[in-house]
Chains A and B, each alone.
Chain A
Amino acid sequence: MMDPSEINNFEDQWRKALKEASEAPPQSVWEGIEARLDQQEDKGMILPLWWQSPKIWYAAASIAALLLVGGIWYSNSKNGIKPNVEIASTQTAKERATAESDSQTAVAVNSAAAASAQIASENNVAEYSAKSGKSANQSNREVLAAVKQSESNVSPTRQNGVEGNSAATIAAAKEADNQATIDKNSTLAKVDKSPSAPINKANSNAVIATEAPENTNSLVPATAIAESEMALAMLSALPYSDLDVHMQKRYIFFRPDLKVEEPVEPLKSRDYYAALSLMPASFNPNLKVKEAPLGFTNQNLSSKKSVSGTSESGVSYAVQTQGGVKLSKHWSLEMGVSYLKGNSSYEGGGYVLSAFNNRSANVLENALAGLAPTPNNAYQDKNGFFANNGALYIDVAKTVSNNYQYLQLPVQAGFTIYPEKKLSYSVLGGMMANFFLSNELESASGEIITTKASDEIYRHMNWAATTGLRFSYKLSSKWNANLTGSYQKSVTSGFRSNQSLDSRPQLYGVSWGMRYSF
């Protein structure tokens, strides 16, 4: 067994030897770390800062340079063919040059035409570069010699430009331009030009110079040359390093390794659908006579202070059309137009015998007739006419048929369970506007009282709540067979509020229909 102190000794030795041990990691480790840190930062932004890469700017500068050189070459070649066209001068340059020379025009005109021509040539001479100036001067001189309109004007020509001035700036060029204008009177052009100006300039000037003498008009060549100078000054651009760099931040979504996969569309549940259905239904208008005919209430003879009677449902039907939109996987919203033929019967509620003509009427008929606005109605009991004239109330059960027609506009929301399965279930709920079309009340004696919406007995529109459960069976991708159980209940009375009658129709039905999805 080892001595514990030995053990400690062993570990201590190792710990001492290794605890502070250090070994320089290779440079590649930090590079790897840095790359991963960059990657992480980029992930956060997703946007690589490509504009920070100098390579991009070198490339951009190269392209710009190529374009510029190409542009100059193109404009020069163009001018070579059509010497009358000024060298790449901008409209503003033209205008300025013209404006500046305008003030001199009078003087120029007054002086000899030849003198102005001379100015033109002098300007040309002045702006030649040291190298190319010689040939240009030669051509210029030839021109001058050819013109020979005023020998005295030839001699003062200075050739300052030939000596050259190394400071070629836009400011200098402008100054030169001004000078050119001012010096016209003294027929002395003193224009400093850079020796490093492109050879093209000299060539183009030569072109103009040869052109100038052809124009006997003094103003035109002077202007043209002023323009060309301006243009040339503009063309001799600053070196790129001196240009202002205007940065524009661009955020480019750049993920080179990412394959953009088109999301595989699931079997698309159609967004819109239309449906047509027929609903056999049980319609009950829940008609109540709120009070007995006015006459009877005042009649001591009558044992009936109020009336009793019930509506019985009849076999009804509705033809329904619907249009719907799927809002989400489960939710949908649908609207529709339906025609409802609601048949029912009204049973009981006493009997009224008119003392005058022995005609009989059910209290309902009586009430309805009493509401009718026609003044010559045979059943006018509202004014107490009946009561005072010995009408009799007989408590007898009698059935009258009471049939309604409504136009229905339902708006329902639906929640569909298992929307992707062959058989899906939807719970529906919503509101329905019932527009009253007509009511026919057929008495036992066969008399028919027809009430239209325009008679203003029934409300034009009453609201109903509607709910339902729909089974939908998918026949194909577009066609569905629907079976919908519906319940509708009016929330407002079908009659105008001031009437003695009340009706809150309700309807149960099962509709059968087909649905087409777009």
Chain B
Amino acid sequence: MTFNEQELVQGCKQRNRTAQRQLYDVFGGKLFAICLRYTKNRIDAEDVLQDAFIKIYENIDSFRNDSPLEYWLRSVVVNTALNHLRQQKHLKDLDDIDLHHNGIADKEVTLGDFQLRQLMEVIQELPIGCQTIFNLYAIEGYQHNEIAQKLGISEGTSKSQYARARGLLQQKLNKEKRFNDGSVRDKQF
């Protein structure tokens, strides 16, 4: 879709409903995907998306054109998602995880073998702490110290949670892969 980002922002700043709708149409899909990554189910993701867009429209005045709009929108959504998790007290007691490594490294899997929905699902199946930190570190690209600050946890916790997330993802994907390779590949999600 072609659109003029500046005009869109300007329209939203003027509380123009058409512009607001267009912004939603343009970015809603990507932002919803973020919401799905940070929540456990679609209903929660929808709630987060809704809250995020309200925040976006309310705070669009604070957006300056010095950074890409999408970057700003993503950060609003991520923060909204984190707030959502905080409100549900999911992020309250994230502890260091003692990783009992069994010495057998899970085989690296190639993500290209999976559908997006499968990837989303394996992320959603992670324990909430792991899920959040995985998202922040691996996808959003925050550093562990930033994550620690954001979530009010120690850097060590962030690291250990991430390591666990990574291990779990490998396990799950290997399982999925075996599943995919098997006869029930066409499982409907």
Contact = CB atoms under 8 A, between A and B. Distances in A.
Given A10-B108, A17-B119, A36-B50, A29 B33 contact: no
Contacts of B32: 22-25, 29
Contact of A21 (B17, B46, B116): B116
A19 interface: yes
Interface in A16-38: 16-26, 28-30, 32-34, 36-37
Given A15-B138, A22-B29, 19 more contacts: A6-B108, A11-B138, A15-B139, A17-B112, A18-B139, A21-B119, A22-B32, A22-B33, A23-B32, A25-B28, A25-B49, A26-B46, A29-B50, A29-B53, A32-B46, A33-B24, A33-B57, A34-B17, A41-B15
B120 A21 contact: yes
Interface of B: 15, 17, 20-21, 24, 28-30, 32-33, 36-37, 46, 49-50, 53-54, 57, 105, 108, 110-112, 114, 116, 119-120, 137-139, 141, 166
Contacts of A10: 108, 138, 166
Contacts of A41: 15
B68 to A, nearest CB: 13
Nearest to B54: A36
Q: When A and B form their complex, which 6 residue pairs have the shortest distance between CB atoms, in order from nearest?
A: A22-B29, A21-B33, A25-B32, A11-B138, A17-B111, A13-B111
Contact of B21 (A9, A24, A30, A32): A30
Interface magnitude class on chain A: 20 to 34
B12 to A, nearest CB: 11
Contacts of A34: 17
A284 to B, nearest CB: 73
Interface string A114-146: 000000000000000000000000000000000
The binding surface of chain B is classed by DSSP as helix
Contacts of A23: 29, 32-33, 36, 116, 120
A37 B57 contact: yes
A14 interface: yes
B160 to A, nearest CB: 15
Contacts of B46: 25-26, 28-29, 32
Nearest to A25: B32
Contacts of B20: 37
Instruction: Say what secondary structure dominates the interface of chain A.
Output: helix
Interface-centre pick from A20, A28, A33 (highest chain B CB count, 10 A): A33
A14 B28 contact: no
A382 to B, nearest CB: 88
A297 B11 CA distance: 98
A273 to B, nearest CB: 52
A28 B32 CA distance: 13
A19 B139 contact: yes
14 contacts: A2-B105, A14-B111, A15-B139, A18-B116, A18-B120, A21-B33, A22-B32, A22-B33, A23-B33, A30-B24, A33-B53, A33-B57, A36-B50, A37-B17
B159 to A, nearest CB: 12
B138 to A, nearest CB: 4
Nearest to B46: A29
Nearest to B110: A13
Given A10-B166, A14-B138, A22-B33, A30 B28 contact: yes
B80 to A, nearest CB: 13
A17 to B, nearest CB: 5
A18 B122 CA distance: 12
Contacts of A33: 24, 50, 53-54, 57
A485 to B, nearest CB: 61
Nearest to B20: A37
Contact of A22 (B30, B49, B114): B30
B28 to A, nearest CB: 5
Nearest to B34: A21
Which of A10, A23, A33, A37 is the most central at the interface, judged by chain B CB atoms within 10 Å of its CB? Answer: A23
Contacts of B28: 24-25, 29-30
A17 B116 contact: yes
B106 to A, nearest CB: 11
Nearest to B116: A21
